[in-house]
Structure 1
Amino acid sequence: MGEDQLSAEAGSPIESRSIGGCGSDMANRATPFLESHWYVAAWAGEIGTTPLARTILDRRIVLYRDAAGVVAALADRCPHRSYPLSRGEVKGDRIVCGYHGIEFGRDGRCALVPSTGNAPGALRVRAYPVVEQGPFVWIWMGDPAAPRHDRLVDQPWFTEPGWAHVTGYFPMRAHYLGLHENLMDLSHFPFLHGVAVGKPEHATARPKVTVEGNVVRSVVEHRDVTVMPAYGRRAGFAGPVDRVSESVVPTPAIHLGKVVMREASGRGEAHVRYIVHCPTPETEHSTHYFWAMARSHFIDDEDIDAEMRALGEKAFREDKAALEAIEELVVAERDPAFRERLIASDEAGVQLLRALARMEREDRADAVAVGA
């Protein structure tokens, strides 16, 4: 079996993979950010008439709402003297640079230079397409003249009535690919998160992994799972439940999780919960980690809201700490000869990294074709 090839034999080791070298069929630290996609820039509630600075894919961006409440996203750099526009203010539909008072519209065009009284057409900043979707504000990081709205994932459980949801955010000092791999690997649940999420025997459950185009899907069933107390009481669960977890990654910017729980007897109603993770790369060594959970049962129960939020914050904070520890070690020991040894339970993560590598190559080829 060659390097970077996944073994089909259960439990047998995969050869190895490079963490950051070129020439692999899997995305790694050497893979450029995938720009032609929508990424979560912020929670909708974060953005107001005070400019918000955020770095996304190594680009500094300023976000704000105009007088009509519409979100705008511009490069956070005045073209006159490179002053950060996020240090200015919003006046009506315009953002005003705090250095010389130059005003820009949400389309990035200069609207006024106070010292001259005119608005030179050449004085403009890059404007990024944005879409507000429920609690999320998505930003298109590719060609601003050609946003691919077909790459924006529909999420009715966050935009339609009949759902309750909780949200959270962590700034994470780690590469975003590590988070994607972590989320595709449920075998770490009992060891990193404890019995609240999984039992040791759950680590042996083998997921069914499928790939359609560049969309990777992993489904695994865990039996005899502890359920959250408040939710268990409302649902009438007499004890542990069976849990089917589905993970789908359609783009590099979103990881869709779906959990279906029902009584271990197999009787009773299925209870569905969506767990959505949105890793937005900040820099090579840092990530904006947005997460949200949605449910269609007991949507007015604040105790269940609090329980879901506490469980999410605990588990995802533990993931964050583990990934930051890995990042610290990888950066400190820059050994180009080191190759990670993989095992068969890494199948979903390996298939995802291969899909992301294909996406990057395809997007690069598309850009070349457009420029030809």
Structure 2
Amino acid sequence: MKYFLPWVYTVFLLTLLFFSGLSHATDKQWQSLVSDYEKHLAAKLKSKGIPGGALSIVNGPDNLFVKGIGVTKLSKGRKVDAHTRFRLASVSKTFAGSLTAKLANEGRFSLEDPVSKFIPEFSNTSYKNNLKVYHLLSHSGGLVPNAYDNLIESRMSYPDIVSKLLSVEPICKPGQCYGYQNVMFSLVDEVIKASTKMGYARWLNEFVFAPLQMNDASLGYEQMIIDNNYAHPHVRGRKRWHTARLKQNYYKVLPAAGVNASASDMAIWLKAQLGYYPSVLSPEVLADQTRPYTHTKKELRRRVWKKHLKEAYYGLGWRVYNYDNETLYYHSGWVQGYRSDIVIMPHLNIGFSLILNAETGLINELTTEFIDQVLAYKRQQK
């Protein structure tokens, strides 16, 4: 027996060292992948003259990569750092989806509640009690796509736009067809206000941003320009990029497009979506927000992803994809002068966010490259 115990201990140590070595090798491979991708990204942005970007990559709870790239504006801009604010545009919808799922999970209201319960004006429309809360956030309310988005860019106030929305006849019954919305999506603010006596902005600031310590994140135009560490928008004209004026229009629809955030904030948001802050976003909330409510067949024809997508749905503020047999939660954003992408790979424990202060389709290529590299890396390990 006295010889047996040291032998067992020796085997244990050798096994521990073996797996430790494997883990160390894997970590080095991952770091190499991220480093190579960041260099490729920076070179690509520079070659296209794109002013700046914010990159966030998460692999598990502690393996984070956060990087500001380029400058906040072309002339006399400051360097983009980890705390430089960018407009998220429609990536803001992921926050609305999470918050709504959270409040519903707490019993503040039900996702199955009719919208007319909170906005009585809907009782006198063709919707009556057929339009449910989850229809708002899954783009399945039955309206023609992007209904009255043109008025968001006008001087018309959001309440006046909604009053016009009430007169629009749906093209299908709620839940039967997909039509991407910004005006209708943002009605969730009224639902939250009516059911909790507190508005969407306050809920998001106090019960999401604050506990997650997303210290740069904010809502609205005034908070975007509160100091000079924000990325200015850029548009293309006459074969070069121009710094544009930061417009307030899409800040009218805060749930749909009103969030500002930095690379540092987005790394935290990725971790929250991967389940590392259960006191803020519980497993039940994460499951509810990514339930595939609406089939989005049109997404299967996306040029960049056409060969990869097998299924495409919309949850609550999140797209849900089968991408080469891997589940992805995804959203993109586009508002004048900015593009944004967010990707969650829940089964691989990996999250990715890229925001650019220029209107460029290059982001589609850059995001796809990252996804493909990660899938190849993970499948090599099996």
TM bucket (normalised to shorter chain) is under 0.3
**What is the TM-score of this pair, normalised by structure 2?**
0.25
**What is the TM-score of this pair, normalised by structure 1?**
0.25
Query: Would you tell me which structure has more helix in proportion to its own residues?
Result: 2
Query: Would you tell me which structure has more strand in proportion to its own residues?
Result: 1
